[in-house]
Structure 1
Amino acid sequence: MKRLSALAAGLLIGAAAFQFSGVASGQSDGWITLLDSSKMGDWDEVGKANWAMKDGALVADKLDGKDLSYLVSKNPYKDFQIRAEFWTDEEANSGIFIRCEETKKIDSKVCYEVNIFDKRPDPSYGTGAIVDVGKVDPMPKAAGKWNTYEITAQGPHFVVVLNGQKTVDAQDSKHASGHIALQYGSGVVKFRKVQIKPL
């Protein structure tokens, strides 16, 4: 009986340690934290902007050069869900790029671009859309408030939800897997949390 109690206690301690280690490494319920309010995380930068942690968010408001800036994930992902919290001003041009096949040159030809761009000249591919894949109508406005993107990529099926409202449900098979990238193009852009859950 004592041996059984000791075994049960050992299993409980082991389970608690496993659970704690998952949180400590940024994983919980399968979610991997790429960025949170206390740390920027580990990204490769393509192009230069003044990315910095300020007041619990990763912020950029100026390019250092003429090229757009991207923070690119170290790891590639195939099928996944993303949860991202972001804030922009009205002049912002940003986005979350997914399944990027290249890591040194990021654009909508080698990635899928889930847009954050309230003043895009063609609003059908503005905020809430996947550029050249899934249009949004009417385009929601994201400027001046904290927003949450939920992006699901499973095989050729893509679903984008902005603040609880589905904006895209589309099919495309150009890019099967690749890296994640956060974009800074103009205005003020803040990311407070970015998590990914492989499927």
Structure 2
Amino acid sequence: MTLKKHLSILAAGLVIGAAALQFSTTASGDDGWVTLLDSSRKGDWDEVGKANWEMKDGALVADKLDGKDLSYLVSKTQFKDFQIRAEFWTDEDANSGVFIRCEGNKMIDSKVCYEVNIFDKRPDPTYGTGAIVDVGKVDPMPKAAGKWNVYEITAQGPHFVVTLNGQKTVDAQDAKHANGYVALQYGSGVVKFRKVQIKAL
């Protein structure tokens, strides 16, 4: 390889690297938060099951399943240690949740993921809003229906902390799932997500 050709390849590599760095900075912002969806766009998700997800009045909304299976919007990327901020609204009949560290992106449930639940109607504190199903019970049990709420979910190694509207609901340890996909669930009722962001730790 001639020196001239080598320098040309090196220059091309630098241009590509700079473009990738610029894209990464643009996507995540200076503070490291990556927006998965916001009030103007659904974002890029794989869908498992079918619900009538649509952007409406500044939020991603679903209120009906198409079939018997629950619906999940699944991230394209796997995450290990992270923080999530999710703004959501539900009615009293809603069954939803934020699933994290899912082992695969084709089958989503609490056996292969951690499920941070949104389910006001469940009387069991293992499954109530604010709980991590089968990992961290919530007591007292908060109610999320009829208002906008903010989940903050931190997963760092085996340590999990969940806050709902600034109040800690779970502080637990579990080591079943080390990394995986993030998923948003629609099960029943009216469910809205206005913003979902994630930040690697």
**Bin for the TM-score computed over the shorter chain:** 0.7 to 0.9
CA distance, structure 2, for counterparts of residue 66 and residue 35 of structure 1: 26
The residue number in structure 2 matching 1:124 is 126
TM-score normalized by the length of structure 2 = 0.87
Give the Cα separation in 2 of the matches to 1:167 and 1:30.
25
Determine helix, strand or coil for the equivalent of 2:126. Answer: helix
Please name the residue that 1:161 is paired with: 163
Give the letter for the 2:199 counterpart. Answer: K
Structure-2 residue corresponding to 1:170: 172
What does the per-residue CA deviation read over 1:67-101, in whole Å, with 9 as the maximum and x for residues that have no partner? 00000000000000000000000000000000000
> Are the equivalent residues in 2 in contact too, given 1:36–1:192 (CA < 8 A)?
yes
CA contact (8 A) 2:84 2:199 kept: yes
Partner of 1:142: 144
**CA distance in 2 between partners of 1:108 and 1:140 (Å):** 21
1:124 CA displacement: 3.5
Structure 1 residue 22 displacement after superposition: 6.2
Letter in 2 for 1:153: A
Secondary structure of 1:25 counterpart: helix
Partner of 1:95: 97
Report deviation, 1:45: 0.2
CA contact (8 A) 2:126 2:134 kept: no
Question: TM-score by structure 1 length?
Answer: 0.88
> What SS is found at the alignment partner of 1:123?
coil
Q: In 2, are the aligned partners of 1:151 and 1:160 still within 8 Å (CA)?
A: yes
**Runs (5+) with no aligned partner, structure 2:** 1-21
Q: Partners of 1:63 and 1:57 in 2: how far apart?
A: 18
Q: Of 91, 109, 116, which aligns to 1:114?
A: 116
Deviations 1:94-149 (A, max 9, x none): 00000000110000000000000000142332100000000000110000000000
Q: Alignment partner for residue 183 of structure 1, among 182, 185, 197?
A: 185
> Which consecutive residues of structure 1, in runs of 5 or more, have no partner in the other structure?
1-19
Shift in alpha-carbon separation, 1:134–1:73, aligned structure 2, 3 A: same
Aligned to 2:47: 45
Distance 1:97 1:91 in 2: 19
Runs of 4+ in structure 1 deviating by more than 2 angstroms, as ranges, are: 20-28
1:25 CA drift (Å): 2.6
- AA aligned to 1:152 is T
Aligned length in residues = 182
Q: 1:54 aligns with which of 44, 53, 56?
A: 56
Identity percentage over the alignment? 84
- Partner Cα distance (2:30, 2:148) in 1: 23
Tell me which residue corresponds to 1:74.
76
Q: Hey, what does 1:195 align to over in structure 2?
A: 197
Given that residues 124 and 137 in structure 1 are in contact (C-alpha distance below 8 angstroms), is that contact kept between their aligned partners in structure 2? Answer: no
